[in-house]
Amino acid sequence: MNRRKTVLDLRKMKADNERIVMVTAYDWTMARLVDQAGVDMVLVGDSLGMVVQGHDDTLPVTLDHMVYHTRCVSRGLENAHLVGDMPFMSWQRSTDQAMHAAGRLLQEGRAQSVKLEGGEAAAPTIRALVSAGIPVVGHVGLTPQSVHAMGGFRVQGRTEAQAEQVVRDAVAVEEAGAFCLVLEGLPTDVAAEITHRVSIPTVGIGAGPHCDGQVLVSTDLLGMNLSFKPKFVKRYETLEDTILQAVQRYSTEVREGVFPGKEHSFNRRPRKVAKLY
Ligand code: KIV
């Protein structure tokens, strides 16, 4: 029987000073592996627009894409809490639109909560979703869906005025009822202040060590694209090299007639000999 972590478990982790581990996943295979590795939360992020679909940003990701990948990931999880990301323009038009999008992520995608980017401006939507029984993870600081408004993927909160705004955003998201908050691309002291000010767990990415947890994109932490190495990413493997070498060895063996060997090949089923007696 699955026993996925709930919003209560995650809140308790903050109360008990236990750090939260979150990673992204986009398919069943990766979901199964990160779940077995014991992470607390799995996010089906709209980062899939970049690392799965090959776009330059997350804006082309649709609600249908998110529902599809969330459902795939859901089948691979037994223990981790599953968060589905609300993609660009899936909730801004109206509360109805937001309910519809979040509802699909829970009903069809089988997510346990949804994440949406935005601070004070997103608070009314968060409040509406929470009052409909949908747990929400907020996301403030560098919000990739606003890449054009920010003039690129840039660290936020570097000036005093910006830092104050991000703190206000975080407080507004908590007051609206979010149970958890992603802090992305923030100076260490700003993320630390937010973590101290809010009672919900903060999960940082490029936001320093003082958050209640950390999140990384799975393909980044596994080094599956060695040409991409922003400062905030630590690679725990270089799978790009491992995969290249494996596929090159396979190609060589196919070309040289080494694979498939006898042990990978089938014999004809021996004919049954008719019994005489
Ligand atoms: O889309 C995503 O993967 C995210 C994380 C990087 C927090 O929002």
pLDDT value of position 96: 98
3-state secondary structure of 14: helix
Q: What is the mean pLDDT of residues 119-145?
A: 98
Ligand 1 centre from 186 Cα, in Å? 14
Ligand 1 centre from 241 Cα, in Å? 24
For ligand 1, atom 3, which residue shows the shortest CA distance?
Answer: 45
CA–CA distances in Å: residue 276 to residues 208, 271, 272, 273: 80, 15, 12, 9
Alpha-carbon dihedral angle through residues 63, 69, 71, 76, given to the nearest 10 degrees: -160
Pocket of ligand 1 (CB under 6 A): 24, 43, 45-47, 85, 182, 184, 205, 215, 217
pLDDT at 78 over 60: yes
Q: At what angle do helices 95-107 and 63-74 cross, to 10 degrees?
A: 30
Note the pLDDT tens digit of each residue in 7-58: 999 999 999 999 999 999 999 999 999 999 999 999 999 999 999 999 999 9
pLDDT at 137 over 80: yes
Q: In angstroms, rounded to a whole number, what is the distance separating the alpha carbons of residues 97 and 89?
A: 9
Burial of 218 from C-beta contacts in 10 A (0-12 / 13-18 / 19+): buried
Note the pLDDT tens digit of each residue in 160-203: 999 999 999 999 999 999 999 999 999 999 999 999 999 999 99
Report residue 181 as tokens.
């908050």
pLDDT at 133 over 70: yes
Q: How far is CA 174 from the centre of its chain?
A: 20
* List of domains in the chain: 7-238 (3.20.20.60)
pLDDT value of position 1: 52
3-state secondary structure of 273: coil
* The three-state (H, E, C) secondary structure of 124-170, written as one string: HHHHHHHHCCCCEEEEEECCHHHHHHHCCCCCCCCCHHHHHHHHHHH
Contact 91, 101 (CB under 8 A): yes
Is residue 18 part of the annotated active site? The answer reads no
Of all residues in the chain, the percent with pLDDT exceeding 90 is 95
For ligand 1, atom 4, which residue shows the shortest CA distance?
Answer: 45
Note the pLDDT tens digit of each residue in 88-101: 999 999 999 999 99
> What's the pTM value of the predicted model, to 2 decimals?
0.95
Of all residues in the chain, the percent with pLDDT exceeding 70 is 97
Q: Are strands 180-184 and 213-216 parallel, antiparallel or unpaired?
A: unpaired
pLDDT at 271 over 80: no
Token pair 């509802």: residue: 103
Mean pLDDT of the chain: 97
Alpha-carbon dihedral angle through residues 44, 185, 160, 122, given to the nearest 10 degrees: -10
Q: What is the mean pLDDT of residues 70-77?
A: 98
Residue 277's pLDDT band (cuts 50, 70, 90): low
Ligand 1 centre from 266 Cα, in Å? 45
Give 271's contacts (C-beta < 8 A, 6+ positions apart): none
